[in-house]
Structure 1
């Protein structure tokens, strides 16, 4: 059923078009997905399905499973894989491209077109030494985190559904294959522009920039220097996105330029993590031995990546000075967004002198005590303006140095009194800003292990919890608990 029109629709009849396919052949390779044996439905996201007018229950039908696994191609689909390049861990890696992702085309929706892409759909000319496949473990992590981030209000690609097969796939051990259907208005990346710049192909560079401006930044089409305006806006969007990451303790883990969206969306969920015991230098990616993509480094790396994009666009922008002016948008955009988010997280209604010191002292306190990031902010909403030590206990007990917490709480309460803060109103506002539920690695791992044994109920339950991260959900209290001891030994890497 197409919920936009109210008419029944089969997978064969999906109204695909493919704007990227209209670009010259150098930008992509037309190819068919490689079928998987006996694919099965695992899970679908109702909010994501609604974006393209589909009902999640229809997606469980075998015809949709076949199309969104790559075993069958819809009549209007034009499957392709895109070429791009990029910097990986700060080093130029040369040509990369969709090594296991195949775009089926664009589906219309009330909010605009969404490009539909199968991740794990088989070999492409850009697979290099890979097998073109994705395993169930990584597919479920991407599916769950895409939808969790969307529910948190952070710009992200979306995940429509996951299908699986018993086909064995070799990683560190033998796993099984899966395909995640992901969606975004476009999957064009910073590395898409770097590819043409480093090859000295200015015509293709201009074609790609004009394509992006026409479809997603039309307000710049008539500007004196549309490419400078494009760079400035992408820089702002990237900065605001990363401020959102920092505010919920999200760590991407592999911020290579080929994983940076030209729309400022969180793209390519691999070895991600949500901060638990706070450590600004925490590295969520076991492969990242040097800590390039630690929590604290995400902010400067985001700026570095924007510089890489600016360098690629330089032939179109004109002068280094103009590119620098565009890139200067990063720090104020990040600072303003993070300041806005921190005021909301602390329930502060206005901006006052001394707020920055209050925030700095708070993060120093979290760092010194390695307090749980999500639990701290959620429990902070319960703090009473005139509370005593007993009332503060659930929050206070997150800190080994309780005297240090008491000193900061005194400072915080004094700040609240300056604006005549109301406990009830502040609690409601803070609970709208501080999630109770995030995709902790141990929650994902538990659901994955169940799924690997053929039980998908844990995935469905976890998805439902994460779709309402700010709600109390008393029946799901266990999903908001402190991580168990065994969770400290979980490692995630770039292997997927």
Structure 2
């Protein structure tokens, strides 16, 4: 039957804590350590709506209940907080000592507005990041700080607005507790919302410890909850693997097309659902650099921008290895070998959309490759260029192509752009759409607003002084990053020199 919202709203969430029904050694149940004097930095109305909660938080009781929940100081009835145990490969090396070291899965809930017995209603994990020490914290304090919390919150919203598969974030809360990182910082918390927090590393944990009964249980749980179609396949685990290969390959294509650098693609940071997961030292490209490394501890460049597709393949290989106790390796390898074709097909689809190309032509791959090369050699801003390109005048003749001056002036070597522009003009001639229609289509594929690291840094610095206005302005534009938002024009500006190619730590 339908559950009506009561005064504070939060108690109306319907808990279905299916992960907590797995054996006790899959996790550690514990209460969160709340933060003192919590203040709500930002609350995402879109994520509130996902949970069936009111986006207009008018009631003081409702607002306070949300604040206390999001700061780890209050748990509604039915919440069963737990820290998951998993392992994974970090920078290519297996680490057995991983798990939720500073976060807790608070509950798995159905939206407050749906029937409790609604078979098709979604279940959302509510995960509190910064909740204190767990048995898997190793040498850490289990806390999160304001800067890392704001960055995860904003980037989750940015990726959602871009249409890229991602976990989401409900809130950022800051407290008065001091946390030591490179310096003393403010403790903060993020409530992450996702369909699942199961990672590649969950399966690696049971594979490397040779607890095969538990590995099978983990697989069966995952298929039942998240891959029900695979259960009826001839070989269910292979069908599951095929879906993960596909969604992961397509996610990598999305990252490359938008110029996103994850920074820490360890297998414990890979979602089984092919969603962007665990935002740490991430970045979006500014002046385009295929070899951009945004993580200052990535000395070898393993997780550079141009390495991400190959790392996705490597991580899937590690996941496939965990399935070998239950099936032959040959079909797993055959499935893995489809990865490149899936990735390239999706990437070319996305890049054609960025170029305003609706048809498929044989030379499209070369046109895209040549463009990326000249963007890199001229250090052109990636997002700004593609947004400008929508204004390309394809009606100019011969040498007049060079009159696309606003675009041309982004290049140091204008002649190299002119040569590419002629190729582009010839390619556009094969399309049926006129320039005005193409511009509309391209502006739906090329965002005006992305989370540039300098913007995140400015928002963090303001928030440290209890000014949360920039955080919320960014949240606003990221809900629709393809729109003009003329009142927020400054947020689309090119980065200052100090804000280019920022390199960040895992605590950023």
Query: Normalized against structure 1, the TM-score is what?
Result: 0.96
1:36 shift after superposition: 1.2
Question: Structure 1 CA distance, aligned partners of 2:198 and 2:281?
Answer: 21
| Pair 1:360 & 2:359 matched | no
Compute the displacement of 1:13 (Å): 4.5
Partner Cα separation in structure 1 for residue 257 and residue 394 of structure 2: 23
Query: Pairwise mapping of residues 324-403 of structure 1 onto structure 2 (< 5 A)?
Result: 324-387=333-396, 388=400, 392-403=404-415
Pick the aligned partner of 2:446 from 434, 441, 462: 434
The residue aligned with 1:46 is 45
Q: Distance in 2 between matches of 1:182 and 1:10?
A: 19
Q: Deviations over 1:59-106 (max 9, x none)?
A: 971221111211122111011110000000111111300001111111
1:475 Cα deviation from its structure 2 partner: 1.7
Cα distance change on mapping 1:478 and 1:4 into 2, 3 Å: farther
CA distance in 2, matches of 1:7, 1:343: 49
CA drift of 1:58 comes to 3.0
Report if the CA contact (8 A) 1:95-1:195 is conserved.
Answer: no
CA deviations on 1:288-345 (whole Å, 9 max, x unpaired) are 11100000000000000000000011112x1110210221231111111101101111
Query: For 1:325 and 1:354, how far apart are their aligned partners in 2?
Result: 28
- SS state at 1:155 partner: coil
What's 1:479 paired with?
491
Per-residue CA distance 1:418-449 (angstroms, 9 max, x = gap): 22431011000000000010000001000110
Task: Give the match for residue 238 of structure 1.
Answer: 248
Relative distance call for 1:4 and 1:243 in structure 2 (3 A) is farther
Separation in structure 1 between the aligned mates of residue 403 and residue 347 of structure 2, nearest angstrom:
29
Within 5 Å, which residues of 2 pair with 1:276-291?
276-291=286-301
5+ residue gaps, structure 2, are: 115-120
Asked whether the 8 Å contact 1:229–1:326 carries over to 2, the reply is no
Q: State how far apart, in whole Å, the 1-side matches of 2:160 and 2:46 are.
A: 9
Q: Distance in 1 between matches of 2:500 and 2:347?
A: 28
Distance 1:11 1:391 in 2: 58
**Is the contact made by 1:86 and 1:195 (CA closer than 8 Å) also made in structure 2?**
yes
Aligned: 1:98 with 2:100: yes
2:259 match: 249
- Counterpart of 1:320 in structure 2 is 329
Please state whether the residue corresponding to 2:14 is helix, strand or coil: coil
Q: Which secondary structure state, in structure 2, belongs to the residue aligned with residue 237 of structure 1?
A: helix
Residue 22 of structure 2 is aligned to residue 10 of structure 1 = no
| Aligned equivalents of 2:192, 2:498: Cα separation in 1 | 31
Q: Which among 77, 80, 86 is matched to residue 79 of structure 2?
A: 77
Choose 206-215 or 413-422, whichever is displaced more.
413-422
The total of aligned residue pairs comes to 493
Output aligned runs, 1:138-149, within 5 Å: 138-149=148-159
Partner residue, 1:421 = 433
Give unmatched runs, 5+ long, in structure 1: none
Deviation at 1:489, TM superposition (A): 7.1
> Residues 24-173 of structure 1: matches in 2 within 5 Å?
24-58=23-57, 61-109=63-111, 112-173=122-183
Instruction: Tell me the distance in 1 between the aligned counterparts of 2:71 and 2:245.
Output: 35
d(CA) in 2 for partners of 1:135, 1:384 = 48
Residue number in structure 1 paired with 2:416: 404
Partner of 2:117: none
Displacement of 1:14 in angstroms is 3.2
Deviation at 1:258, TM superposition (A): 0.1
Q: What is the CA–CA distance in structure 2 between the aligned matches of 1:390 and 1:405, rounded to whole Å?
A: 8
TM-score w.r.t. the length of structure 2 is: 0.94
SS of equivalent to 1:54: coil
Secondary structure at the counterpart of residue 476 of structure 2: helix
Q: CA deviation at 1:391?
A: 5.1
Using the TM superposition, give the Cα deviation of residue 39 of structure 1 relative to its aligned residue in structure 2, in angstroms.
1.1
